[in-house]
Amino acid sequence: MRISTSRISVSIAAVLACTSLTAHAFEPGSGAECIAPSDPGGGWDFTCRTGGQVLADLDLVPGNVQTINMAGAGGGVAYAHVVAKREGDENLIIAASTAVPTRLAQGQFPGMTMDMVRWIGTVGSDYGVIAVTDDSPYQNLEELMDAIKEDPRAVKFAGASAKGGWDHLKALIAARAAGVDTLREIPYLSYNNGGEALTQVVGGHLDAFTGDISEARGFWESGDLRILAVLAPERLPGDFSSIPTAREQGVDAIGPNWRGFYMPAGISDEAYEYWVDAVETLYESDEWKDVMATNGLMPFHYSGEEFKEFMAQQVEDIRELSAELGMVAQ
């Protein structure tokens, strides 16, 4: 019987992954926790609950991973809690996204820097969308941007990040690319999670949603929401392939929102290496690939020290962008 080289490669990779994890002196105890820096619903909650479930399914943690919701200050409440009260906790991971370097870049986590935690890894990218209700007068992105050019306060946006955060910036990046020159006058209201922001838009209280495809999916599939554009380099695959990009509508705006995890400072190198390898194994698993395909996540992965280097560069890049948009001092 012939055995394909692809099957041999997969088997070897699985053995190496297991060997890497078991080689660490550290093993997580029961009662592992994941802090979602938001109320239930939205991207951070999704990252903790779904990531935690896959970690448990792959036997990378004993038992289940408990999700703890800790909303406030665009992730700042959770970040401060981890820095001040959870140092050295080797059984704790925290959901992160592009919102975290955004707030750090803008000085919105007072007295705190990215070096006060340990960066574990990313598990995909959730691309941004701009969406309106199904009965909105705006049929496409061009019409919405034309309304803003005529009156910068004509469209009120709702998002899950704090003002100046990544959801807010995505709308401004798109507006700037469309030729809007009154960015500071565009109304934006912040909510604790994407679910709340979407409810405000679907309920007719606000005009447009700026967030991520995974957050918008439910209302889009029910027909209550019209996604005008996805802020991706090209159309997303599968069920999302009918959604046009901003680029193909003449607006060169890209808004990836990576998903990942960090941990408290003060943990042992053995614990750090264990969790880096665990998240690496999660990302490479068939279970997580199914999660990505179902929720519109695209491949995007940095791990360990490489993730830390990426974070440092992103903080600097967002600081420059925020200064250009008048969010921080030049």
CATH code of 90's domain? 3.40.190.150
On whether both 18 and 107 belong to a single domain, the answer is: yes
Centroid of chain to Cα 173: 17
Question: What CATH number does residue 231 fall under?
Answer: 3.40.190.10
Please state the pTM of the whole predicted model: 0.78
Count of CA atoms in the C-beta half-sphere (13 A) of 72: 10
pLDDT at 24: 58
End residue of a domain, out of 233, 249, 265: 249
End residue of a domain, out of 249, 274, 308: 249
On whether both 260 and 122 belong to a single domain, the answer is: yes
End residue of a domain, out of 249, 276, 308: 249
| pLDDT by 10-residue block (mean), the chain, 330 residues | 39 45 72 94 91 97 96 93 98 96 93 97 95 97 98 96 90 95 94 92 97 92 97 91 97 94 97 97 97 90 96 93 82
pLDDT at 43: 86
Q: Which domain holds residue 231?
A: 127-249
Alpha-carbon gap, residue 43 to 128, rounded angstroms = 11
pLDDT at 3: 39
